[in-house]
A and B are shown apart, each in its own frame.
Chain A
Amino acid sequence: GAVVSQHPSRVICKSGTSVKIECRSLDFQATTMFWYRQFPKQSLMLMATSNEGSKATYEQGVEKDKFLINHASLTLSTLTVTSAHPEDSSFYICSAATDRVGGNTIYFGEGSWLTVV
Chain B
Amino acid sequence: AQKITQTQPGMFVQEKEAVTLDCTYDTSDQSYGLFWYKQPSSGEMIFLIYQGSYDEQNATEGRYSLNFQKARKSANLVISASQLGDSAMYFCAMVPFGSSNTGKLIFGQGTTLQVKP
Contact A104 B47 (CB under 8 A): yes
A104 / chain B contacts, CB cutoff of 8 Å: 35, 47, 50
User: Chain B interface: which size bin?
Assistant: 20 to 34
Q: Which of B89, B103, B108 contacts A34 (CB 8 A)?
A: B103
B95 / chain A contacts, CB cutoff of 8 Å: 106
| Contact (A95, B43) CB under 8 Å given A43-B91, A43-B108, A104-B35 | no
Check: A102 CB closer than 8 A to any chain B CB.
Answer: yes
- On chain A, the number of residues with a Cβ less than 8 Å from chain B's Cβ atoms is 26
Check: B105 CB closer than 8 A to any chain A CB.
Answer: yes
Q: In chain B, what residue has the closest Cβ to A10?
A: B43
B35 / chain A contacts, CB cutoff of 8 Å: 104, 106
Given the complex of chains A and B, what is the CA–CA distance between A97 and B86 in angstroms? 26
A110 / chain B contacts, CB cutoff of 8 Å: 43-44
Q: Name B's A-contacting residues (CB within 8 A).
A: 33, 35, 43-45, 47, 50, 52, 89, 91, 95, 101-110, 112
